[in-house]
């Protein structure tokens, strides 16, 4: 498995080895020994597994979970194609407001780890794009927040030729600066502590 550390601290791209024969293919999107060596700890205990199916042009994000409890995500694409953006929404982080991206599809078979406190968005490049997630906490609507996906300060470079489709919630979301003023953004130090605590809880 190949590993690439992204610009955002704690975020990584993983590309597994694929075994192919006349029957089809076999691969392991998550491998704990590789993850632990790269990140310095194993993946958090998985509390929920989810997936989304999106039409071409659908934008989901920028989403993040209130800290505490925060939500770590491990995501990969099983059908279609997407550009996945990781945005540092942690106040106090040295890369606050910065982003990096990973192309996800069943051909390159990459996965991406999004740490607690970090924002996440993807845009579907094909119909029926399916993104699967392993999550460190369960979904609770009152703890979920969003940043406007077209925030000019973040300036995500969406692929050309797409008619972007946003939810009402994302269209009404504040900019990063407005969210900071509202006091809803995760704190960097708190996010790191929760990341470490999730691993401790798993090993105890």
Residues annotated as catalytic (active site), given as ranges: 63, 133
Q: How far apart are CA 100 and CA 86, in angstroms?
A: 5
Indicate if the alpha-carbon torsion angle 145, 151, 153, 158 is positive or negative: positive
What secondary structure letter does DSSP report for 58? Answer: B
Among 153, 154, 151, 89, which Cα is nearest to 115's? 89
* Token digits of residue 113: 């780890």
Phi and psi for 43 in degrees, rounded to 5?
Answer: -60, 145
Q: How far apart are CA 171 and CA 6, in angstroms?
A: 27
């Amino acid at each position: 498995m190949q590993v690439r550390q992204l610009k955002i601290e704690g975020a990584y791209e993983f590309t597994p080895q694929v075994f192919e024969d006349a029957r089809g293919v076999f691969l392991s999107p998550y491998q704990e020994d590789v993850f632990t060596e790269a990140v310095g700890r194993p993946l958090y205990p998985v509390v929920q597994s989810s997936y989304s199916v999106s039409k071409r042009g659908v934008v989901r994000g920028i989403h993040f979970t209130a800290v505490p409890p925060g939500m770590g995500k491990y995501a990969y694409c099983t059908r279609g194609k997407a550009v996945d953006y990781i945005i540092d929404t942690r106040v106090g982080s040295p890369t606050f407001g910065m982003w990096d991206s990973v192309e996800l599809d069943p051909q390159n078979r990459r996965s991406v780890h999004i740490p607690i406190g970090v924002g996440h968005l993807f845009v579907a490049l094909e119909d029926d794009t399916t993104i699967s997630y392993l999550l460190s906490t369960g979904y609770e609507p009152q703890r979920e927040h969003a940043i406007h996906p077209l925030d000019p300060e973040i300036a995500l470079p969406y692929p050309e030729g797409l008619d972007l489709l946003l939810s009402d919630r994302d269209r009404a979301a504040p900019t990063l600066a407005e969210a900071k003023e509202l006091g809803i953004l995760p704190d960097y130090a708190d996010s790191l502590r929760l990341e470490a605590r999730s691993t401790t809880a798993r090993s105890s």
